[in-house]
Amino acid sequence: MPIAKTQTAKKPKITAETAAKSLTLHGLAPYVEKKREEYMCNDQRDHFKAILKAWRLELMEEVDRTVTHMKDEAANFPDPADRATQEEEFSLELRTRDRERKLIKKIDKTLLRVEEDDYGFCDQCGVDIGIRRLEARPTADLCVDCKTLDEIKERQITGG
Protein backbone atom coordinates (compact mmCIF):
# COMPACT_ATOMS: atom_id res chain seq x y z
CA MET A 1 0.00 0.00 0.00
CA PRO A 2 1.57 3.36 -1.03
CA ILE A 3 2.07 6.07 1.54
CA ALA A 4 -0.03 9.16 0.81
CA LYS A 5 1.95 12.34 0.41
CA THR A 6 0.76 15.25 2.46
CA GLN A 7 -0.24 18.14 0.32
CA THR A 8 1.39 21.43 1.07
CA ALA A 9 -0.18 24.71 0.14
CA LYS A 10 1.75 26.62 -2.47
CA LYS A 11 3.26 29.74 -1.06
CA PRO A 12 2.69 32.85 -3.15
CA LYS A 13 5.82 34.08 -4.85
CA ILE A 14 6.93 37.31 -3.18
CA THR A 15 8.42 39.79 -5.59
CA ALA A 16 9.84 43.22 -4.92
CA GLU A 17 6.64 44.70 -6.32
CA THR A 18 4.32 42.73 -4.02
CA ALA A 19 6.59 43.45 -1.05
CA ALA A 20 6.47 47.18 -1.80
CA LYS A 21 2.68 47.08 -2.07
CA SER A 22 2.39 45.47 1.36
CA LEU A 23 4.53 48.21 2.93
CA THR A 24 2.07 51.03 3.11
CA LEU A 25 2.04 54.08 5.30
CA HIS A 26 -1.45 55.02 6.40
CA GLY A 27 -2.86 53.21 3.37
CA LEU A 28 -0.46 54.83 0.88
CA ALA A 29 2.35 53.10 -0.95
CA PRO A 30 5.90 54.40 -0.50
CA TYR A 31 6.94 57.11 -2.92
CA VAL A 32 8.86 55.87 -5.96
CA GLU A 33 11.37 58.48 -7.06
CA LYS A 34 11.77 59.10 -10.76
CA LYS A 35 15.13 59.55 -12.45
CA ARG A 36 16.49 63.10 -12.24
CA GLU A 37 13.48 64.20 -10.20
CA GLU A 38 13.99 67.37 -8.20
CA TYR A 39 13.78 66.96 -4.42
CA MET A 40 10.41 68.06 -2.99
CA CYS A 41 8.78 68.54 -6.35
CA ASN A 42 4.98 68.86 -6.52
CA ASP A 43 4.47 65.07 -6.74
CA GLN A 44 6.53 64.49 -3.60
CA ARG A 45 4.79 67.28 -1.69
CA ASP A 46 1.39 65.90 -2.73
CA HIS A 47 2.46 62.43 -1.58
CA PHE A 48 3.49 63.66 1.86
CA LYS A 49 0.43 65.88 2.16
CA ALA A 50 -1.72 62.79 1.53
CA ILE A 51 0.23 60.81 4.16
CA LEU A 52 -0.11 63.58 6.73
CA LYS A 53 -3.83 64.03 6.09
CA ALA A 54 -4.47 60.27 6.29
CA TRP A 55 -2.49 60.06 9.53
CA ARG A 56 -4.40 63.00 10.98
CA LEU A 57 -7.71 61.41 10.00
CA GLU A 58 -6.70 58.13 11.69
CA LEU A 59 -5.85 59.98 14.88
CA MET A 60 -9.11 61.94 14.83
CA GLU A 61 -11.08 58.71 14.36
CA GLU A 62 -9.25 57.25 17.34
CA VAL A 63 -10.29 60.26 19.44
CA ASP A 64 -13.91 59.71 18.43
CA ARG A 65 -13.67 56.01 19.31
CA THR A 66 -12.23 56.88 22.72
CA VAL A 67 -15.02 59.31 23.51
CA THR A 68 -17.64 56.75 22.48
CA HIS A 69 -15.89 53.98 24.41
CA MET A 70 -15.64 56.05 27.58
CA LYS A 71 -19.31 57.03 27.39
CA ASP A 72 -20.45 53.45 26.74
CA GLU A 73 -18.17 51.78 29.27
CA ALA A 74 -18.56 54.29 32.10
CA ALA A 75 -20.12 52.38 34.94
CA ASN A 76 -20.29 52.84 38.65
CA PHE A 77 -18.95 49.51 39.85
CA PRO A 78 -19.78 48.67 43.47
CA ASP A 79 -16.46 46.82 43.83
CA PRO A 80 -13.60 49.28 44.49
CA ALA A 81 -11.11 47.08 42.61
CA ASP A 82 -13.29 47.06 39.49
CA ARG A 83 -13.75 50.81 39.73
CA ALA A 84 -10.00 51.34 40.12
CA THR A 85 -9.27 49.11 37.13
CA GLN A 86 -11.69 51.07 34.95
CA GLU A 87 -10.27 54.41 36.11
CA GLU A 88 -6.72 53.23 35.36
CA GLU A 89 -7.82 52.05 31.90
CA PHE A 90 -9.45 55.42 31.20
CA SER A 91 -6.40 57.24 32.53
CA LEU A 92 -4.08 55.35 30.17
CA GLU A 93 -6.42 55.97 27.27
CA LEU A 94 -6.61 59.69 28.02
CA ARG A 95 -2.84 59.92 28.30
CA THR A 96 -2.50 58.26 24.90
CA ARG A 97 -5.05 60.64 23.39
CA ASP A 98 -3.20 63.61 24.89
CA ARG A 99 -0.01 62.49 23.16
CA GLU A 100 -1.98 62.07 19.94
CA ARG A 101 -3.49 65.54 20.36
CA LYS A 102 0.04 66.95 20.46
CA LEU A 103 0.90 64.88 17.41
CA ILE A 104 -2.14 66.27 15.56
CA LYS A 105 -0.85 69.79 16.27
CA LYS A 106 2.55 68.79 14.91
CA ILE A 107 0.90 67.30 11.82
CA ASP A 108 -1.03 70.55 11.28
CA LYS A 109 2.21 72.52 11.60
CA THR A 110 3.88 70.17 9.12
CA LEU A 111 0.99 70.54 6.66
CA LEU A 112 1.55 74.31 6.80
CA ARG A 113 5.23 73.75 6.00
CA VAL A 114 4.21 71.67 2.98
CA GLU A 115 1.96 74.48 1.77
CA GLU A 116 4.75 77.04 2.26
CA ASP A 117 7.29 74.89 0.31
CA ASP A 118 9.44 74.63 3.44
CA TYR A 119 8.86 70.90 3.96
CA GLY A 120 11.61 68.31 3.66
CA PHE A 121 14.56 70.49 4.62
CA CYS A 122 16.43 70.42 7.94
CA ASP A 123 15.60 73.30 10.29
CA GLN A 124 19.19 73.48 11.57
CA CYS A 125 21.43 72.96 8.56
CA GLY A 126 19.07 73.28 5.59
CA VAL A 127 19.98 70.02 3.82
CA ASP A 128 17.45 67.57 2.40
CA ILE A 129 15.94 65.38 5.11
CA GLY A 130 15.36 62.60 2.58
CA ILE A 131 12.32 60.81 1.20
CA ARG A 132 12.82 57.58 3.19
CA ARG A 133 13.29 59.42 6.50
CA LEU A 134 10.18 61.49 5.85
CA GLU A 135 8.20 58.36 5.07
CA ALA A 136 9.39 56.85 8.35
CA ARG A 137 8.56 60.03 10.25
CA PRO A 138 6.53 62.48 8.12
CA THR A 139 6.74 65.21 10.77
CA ALA A 140 10.56 65.13 10.90
CA ASP A 141 12.11 68.59 10.74
CA LEU A 142 15.75 67.61 11.27
CA CYS A 143 18.07 65.54 9.09
CA VAL A 144 19.54 62.37 10.58
CA ASP A 145 22.85 64.04 11.44
CA CYS A 146 21.31 67.02 13.26
CA LYS A 147 18.82 64.76 15.08
CA THR A 148 21.67 62.51 16.20
CA LEU A 149 23.63 65.51 17.52
CA ASP A 150 20.54 66.78 19.36
CA GLU A 151 20.06 63.38 21.01
CA ILE A 152 23.73 63.24 22.04
CA LYS A 153 23.50 66.75 23.54
CA GLU A 154 20.31 65.82 25.37
CA ARG A 155 21.95 62.70 26.85
CA GLN A 156 24.91 64.78 28.01
CA ILE A 157 22.66 67.34 29.67
CA THR A 158 20.27 64.87 31.31
CA GLY A 159 22.92 62.25 32.00
CA GLY A 160 20.71 59.56 30.47
**What digits encode the pLDDT tens for the residues 36-86?**
999 999 999 999 999 999 999 999 999 888 888 888 877 778 888 988 888
On the 0-12 / 13-18 / 19+ scale of CB atoms within 10 A, 81 is: exposed
Residue 98 shares a structural domain with residue 160: no
Residue 142 shares a structural domain with residue 103: no
Arithmetic mean of pLDDT over the chain: 85
Q: Within its chain, how far is the Cα of 60 from the centroid?
A: 13
Domain span at residue 127? 121-160
Residue 133 shares a structural domain with residue 66: no
Residue 131 shares a structural domain with residue 109: no
R_g of the chain computed on alpha carbons: 23
**What digits encode the pLDDT tens for the residues 82-112?**
888 888 998 999 999 999 999 999 999 999 9
Contacts 24+ apart (CB under 8 A), 146-153: 146/122
Residue 96 shares a structural domain with residue 125: no
Q: What is the count of structural domains for the chain?
A: 2
> Residue 106: its pLDDT value, please?
97
